[in-house]
Amino acid sequence: MGLFGNKSPEELEAELAKLKAFEALTPEEKVKKMEEAQKAAQEAFNKLTPEEQERAKAEAERMMRESEQERNALLQEAQKFGLKVPKFCPYCGTENKGGNFCPSCGAPYKTN
Ligand SMILES: [Zn+2]
C-alpha cells in the first residue's frame, strides 16, 4: 500500500479533476450539486429493505454516539488543562499563589 492507498494514478487524477471541477462551480451550483448528492443518498437509502434501513440507521446512530463520546473525552481533557489558574494575575501581574482570585487586586482567575 503506497502513500495514496490502493488508488492508481489514473484514479487519483480523475478524482482530482472532479475536485477541481467542483471548485470551479459557483456557490449556487455547489449547493445544487450537494442537494443532488443528498438526493442520490436518500434514493439509495429508499431502495434498501426495511431491515437494511434499520441497520443503516442503527449504524449511523452508533457513529454519532461514538463521535459524541470522543468529543466529551476531548472536552474533559481540555477542561483539565483549563482548570489550571494562571501563574500571574492577568490584570495586575501579581504572582498567584494557587487561589482562584488575585491576592492583590481580587480579580477572579478564569478557570475555563
Ligand atoms: Zn491582580
Q: What gap in Å lies between CA 101 and CA 103, rounded to an integer?
A: 6
Ion ligand 1 residues within 5 Å by Cβ: 89, 91-92, 94, 102, 104-105, 107
Q: How far is the CA of 85 from the centre of ligand 1 (A)?
A: 13
18 in any annotated domain: yes
Burial of 60 (0-12, 13-18, 19+ CB in 10 A): exposed
| pLDDT in 10s for each residue of the chain, 112 residues | 445 567 888 888 888 888 888 889 899 999 999 999 989 989 999 999 999 999 999 998 998 899 888 888 877 776 666 656 677 888 898 888 777 888 899 888 765 5
22 in Cβ contact with 30 (< 8 Å): yes
Q: Which domain holds residue 26?
A: 9-76
14 in any annotated domain: yes
Domain count for the chain: 1
pLDDT of residue 74: 78
24 in any annotated domain: yes
pLDDT of residue 1: 45
71 in any annotated domain: yes
40 in any annotated domain: yes
25 in any annotated domain: yes
What residue has cell string 429508499? 46
Q: How far is the CA of 106 from the centre of ligand 1 (A)?
A: 6
90 in any annotated domain: no
Q: If we measure between CA atoms, which residue out of 111, 76, 81, 78 comes closest to residue 96? A: 111
Q: How far is the CA of 100 from the centre of ligand 1 (A)?
A: 11
Joined grid coordinates for residue 28: 449556487
43 in any annotated domain: yes
pTM score: 0.38
101 in Cβ contact with 90 (< 8 Å): no
Q: What gap in Å lies between CA 31 and CA 90, rounded to an integer?
A: 46
- What letter represents residue 59's amino acid? E
